[in-house]
Amino acid sequence: MRRLIISLILVLLIFDCKSQVFDYQYDSTGNRIESRMLMVQPLLSVNPKVFNYKHSANSGSITLKNYGQNELYWQASTTANWITNITPDKDTNNAQIVFQVIENKDTFPRNDSIIITTQSGVLNSPVTVYILQAAMPVPDKNDTVITPKDTFTAALRTSKKIVNVSYPLGVDSFYVSNSGNDTLFWTAKSKSNWLDVLVPNNGIDSGWVKVSYKENTSIDSRSGIIELTADDTRNSPYNVVFVQEGKTSSIQDIRQSIVIYPNPAEQLLSIKSDAKVNQYSILDLQGHLIAIGHNIDGTINVEQLASGQYLLKLVDEQNRLHMFTFIKK
């Protein structure tokens, strides 16, 4: 019986070690100064996940990283003919993906996505990167820039493309309108289990869409989709992205003792603190880990981050967690 118990313990230890290993670093005297858990299984991180463009031609850059130890094989693709030249469209592990957006000459906005897929067994896969582009404005007789109605068809338009909400449960809304001349019959539905479209969930031409969202019990932020669809409409389906912040009320979030600046930051993010900060981590708005570090000397180098909004978590010497959001230029 004793041999059987020992064998079972060894099996459990071996199984646990398959998914993670620990990386230790030491100073010149042999003292351990840093330890971090490294995933053996591939862990996909993509940033940013939302691009919002004007009507003119443009380009974008997506940072793709593998935070695991095993090889990550990925592929990027889109079904939109106005998102072009995705380079590279497939590779292994870390990469910088660039793409181009063709000028929008239509009189209504459009949105689509780039999908990052991987081999099976990869954490956080697949990942959807949303691309939104505004309608083309044209001058009227008085040379005032306006966006005219489409004279041939119905076209979906919303007052918000991205809706930011806090972590407690609540309700928010956005307005749907028809920028075309034909009658627009639209329906709104949730593509995420924490979002619900309140009745009525459909309308003719224009109307408000009210959306209830559940409490986010995680300290990590999350995003979800409300999809608008309509028959005989060239820009259907049309997505509105909801971004919900992580929960902070259940932890010691005492921001008055720590200040971060400048915000937005371009190269260095400075930290002014009454207590020593032992560890930091940077996450994207999906809650995916982007960077981690220890023994902060007062600044964090963010120069290599892609432009966008991030969540910063700081742990002080009393093991208290402080959370901030910052923007990388």
Domain of 117, CATH number, reads 2.60.40.10
User: Is residue 109 classed as helix, strand or coil in its secondary structure?
Assistant: coil
> Among 230, 250, 270, where does a domain finish?
250
**Residue 11 covered by a domain:** no
Q: Is there a domain that residue 95 lies in?
A: yes
Range in 148-162, 167-181, 270-284 with the lowest mean pLDDT: 148-162
In a domain, 110, yes or no: yes
Q: Are residues 240 and 180 in the same domain?
A: yes
Q: What average pLDDT does the structure give for the chain?
A: 78
Q: For residue 8, what is the DSSP state?
A: H
Domain span at 61: 33-139
Question: Both 270 and 287 in a single domain?
Answer: yes
Q: What is the pTM of this model?
A: 0.41
Check residue 7 and give its pLDDT: 56
Q: Is residue 159 part of a domain?
A: yes
Decide which of 198, 222, 250 is a domain's last residue.
250
Q: Is pLDDT above 80 for 21?
A: no
**R_g (Cα) of the chain, nearest Å:** 24
Tell me, what's the pLDDT at 3? 58
Which of 206, 227, 250 terminates a domain? The answer is: 250
> How many domains are contained in the chain?
3
Q: Is residue 3 part of a domain?
A: no
Tell whether 46 is covered by a domain: yes
Does residue 5 lie within any of the structural domains? Answer: no
DSSP states of 178-200 as a string? E-BSS--EEEEEESSTTEEEPSP
pLDDT digits (tens, 9 = 90+) for 265-282: 998 999 888 778 888 888
Q: Do 300 and 317 fall within a single domain?
A: yes
> Is the pLDDT at 90 greater than 80, yes or no?
yes
Six token digits for residue 329:
């230029």
